[in-house]
Amino acid sequence: MTTLHDPIYFVAGDTWKIAGQLLDANGVPFDIATATSIEWLLNSVDGTFNHLRCDLTSDGGITIVNAAEGRILVMVDEVDTAAIPPGIYKDWCRIVSAGDTFTEWNGFIRVAPNPATA
């Protein structure tokens, strides 16, 4: 089940934290204990900037908070967000489980300029 999240606002150069819950097609929490891959992607709306990707690998940026409830935390550190140009972006969270790929959520993220370089 793909969920459109409310718009999120971040500042380039800050640590970004996005807490989310993955749901199945019936809106029930997706048990992600057996997931083989979870990834989060960020791309500009105009297609000129395809920058961030986080995953479950060691230091990949995604942490499973509660597998049975499908709760994760995406954390992108300030080093990775520092060079993101201001603008409007679209993000996706995708999961691979039992050989199937599901886009779980997507939405818009507005990024303000990095105050250290503005």
Domain holding 61, by residue range, is 3-112
- Any domain includes 69: yes
- Any domain includes 117: no
Closest CA to 66 of 96, 21, 25: 21
Stretch 16-42: mean pLDDT, rounded?
Answer: 89
Q: Residue 37: which CATH number?
A: 2.60.40.10
Whether residue 24 has pLDDT greater than 70 = yes
How far is Cα 41 from Cα 89, in angstroms, rounded to an integer? 10
How far is Cα 101 from Cα 63, in angstroms, rounded to an integer? 19
What is the model's pLDDT at position 58? 62
Other CB atoms within a 10 A radius of the CB of residue 28 amount to 10
CA-angle at 54, arms to 51 and 58, nearest 5°:
135
- Any domain includes 118: no
Q: Count the domains in the chain.
A: 1
Instruction: Provide the token pair at 82.
Output: 């520092």
User: For residue range 67-97, what is the model confidence (pLDDT) as tens digits?
Assistant: 999 999 999 999 999 989 999 999 999 998 8
